[in-house]
Chains A and B, each alone.
Chain A
């Protein structure tokens, strides 16, 4: 059950979220990306923060979702190979109904495809531990991008253009903004619910001591795979949405963007405090704002500044904002320090 503080914060964020594009319409797409970042951070945290499996390859599901959704949106209306070799000059002219239906079906199939891939890959990759898992997933993310860049059907290195939104300019940004907001809310509430049951404690146990968890009979393989599938599911949908927001799918820069999104996923969760629910949300917000500031004022050097930021956070602030708060004010933000009253249940 949510405590009052959490409820208040959640409602405040929700209201701000709904109001933002109306108050500052010029920044609508940036706000949309804020929610995408929240989804990135939350889905990474299931594996990295809650379960202790630091993945550098979650971007695989994002990119896969992006391509799958776009293909589903385009293929029923024209020849795919022709479309991609036309490099965006071909407009398939969708009506509102066709567009919305295509997007919905596309995102659904993207989610399913990503989940299946997670289950299949997970059976092998999740057997790796620690840094081997991290590096293997890193390789996976980059390999996926390079392979996609070689497949002509989906545009190879030139990428793919997603269908034009049938509505006007302003409505397009708003439409996708609210979809991203909705996705972020759904992800947050789903994780909150999932963490409250056996699943949450099981993946925490795997993080704290996987051998012990196995020795106590926990079906670790199953929990690990399901955790990755949950990440993949939502990342697939996010991919479908972002592909349509950007309008253009580049295999290594937008879809399987290992060097940007892939790394940021890790960083945001750590910055906010990994292993918590609000940490990734906080980290995503802070990171996104910082990144936008860098882009505006440090143009040209923003990527360098971001690289420096990564090093600084990892070296000096690995516990993240929430982690730091928990250390300073343990009783308020985290766990008990003093034993409870009463030595026995009758005496309590």
Chain B
């Protein structure tokens, strides 16, 4: 019986796939939100996004090795990655912010490759994970299983996302970030140090990715070269949802998680990565076609 038949014969299987997909999708939402932040505020598409996620994952793995429970890696990764992101901005990114978008694209792509190779040197190309020691919950007479850690990750992701939104709305830095996103020149004239805002935004994005990575290490696996897939997922979500709409980002992120899970089941695990990248091509082409009818272009 083919996989597709299975889906029709066992509705419960659909529920399982959907649930797992949404739970992992929450992590995608975090990374996508960060990418949207950097894109909206400083007009930089951060190709190294996935690598930040991986670094966060390795923080959790290392915590596991030295005996600290990986859950503590979530805030730790946030702090470490924030500093890392801030430093990276001050060293490299600030030089490409005001140039054309392709230069920043290529620069962050170079960083992505650099980080990948560094991680490969340090941790080797083996997949790693961080064991949270949590159980699996069973529902519906054991037909649906939910790993507790995935549920915890989902809740944490929601909390982190909520905290970020609160921060952006309430704190001075958050307001400065939003002002700069709307109109950088006006913000500068009003006395906002846009350079510091950019550094903070980039650091914030890195921190978001770091927490996402720690969660990934606990719920899935990490590996130095899997970063690009997260970058592409984030990009897709932002393209579909648009830069301003957090609700759309959430829906798109969860939807992508679910779609990927179904695809992994139907096509086989070895094609899941192919699915993600193919979906990117399809999404962009579809978007372009829709705009083309109105004779506009994706800008």
Which residues of A are interface residues toward B (Cβ below 8 A)? 54, 56, 124-125, 127-132, 134-136, 138-140, 142-143, 146-147, 149-150, 157, 259, 263, 266, 270, 300-301, 303-304, 306-308, 310-311, 313-316, 318
Contact = CB atoms under 8 A, between A and B. Distances in A.
A263 B117 CA distance: 14
B95 interface: yes
B274 interface: yes
A127 B299 CA distance: 11
Given A128-B298, A304-B121, A315-B92, A143 B110 contact: no
B132 interface: no
A263 B109 contact: yes
Nearest to B274: A146
A259 B120 CA distance: 14
Contacts of B113: 259, 263, 303, 306-307, 310
Given A139-B284, A301-B121, A307-B118, 10 more contacts: A54-B106, A128-B284, A131-B101, A132-B298, A142-B228, A143-B277, A146-B273, A149-B274, A259-B225, A307-B115
B46 to A, nearest CB: 12
B277 A142 contact: yes
Nearest to A126: B288
B65 to A, nearest CB: 23
Interface of B: 45, 92, 95-96, 99, 101-103, 105-107, 109-111, 113-118, 120-121, 225, 228, 232, 235, 239, 268, 270-271, 273-274, 277-278, 280-281, 284-285, 288-289, 292, 297-299
B109 A127 contact: no
Nearest to B239: A132
10 closest cross-chain pairs (CB), A and B: A307-B114, A310-B110, A146-B274, A143-B277, A139-B280, A311-B110, A307-B113, A303-B117, A304-B117, A139-B277
A132 B288 contact: yes
B102 A54 contact: yes
A79 to B, nearest CB: 24
B118 A304 contact: yes
Contacts of A132: 239, 284, 288, 298
Given A140-B281, A303-B120, A150 B288 contact: no
The dominant DSSP class at the A interface is: helix
B105 A149 contact: no
Contact of B271 (A56, A131, A150): A150
Contact of A150 (B92, B110, B270, B284): B270
B117 to A, nearest CB: 4
A146 B114 CA distance: 22
Contacts of A139: 232, 277-278, 280-281, 284
B280 to A, nearest CB: 4
Which of A125, A147, A157 gathers the greatest number of chain B CB atoms within 10 Å? Answer: A147
Nearest to A303: B117
A124 B274 contact: no
Given A134-B102, A142-B228, A129 B235 contact: no
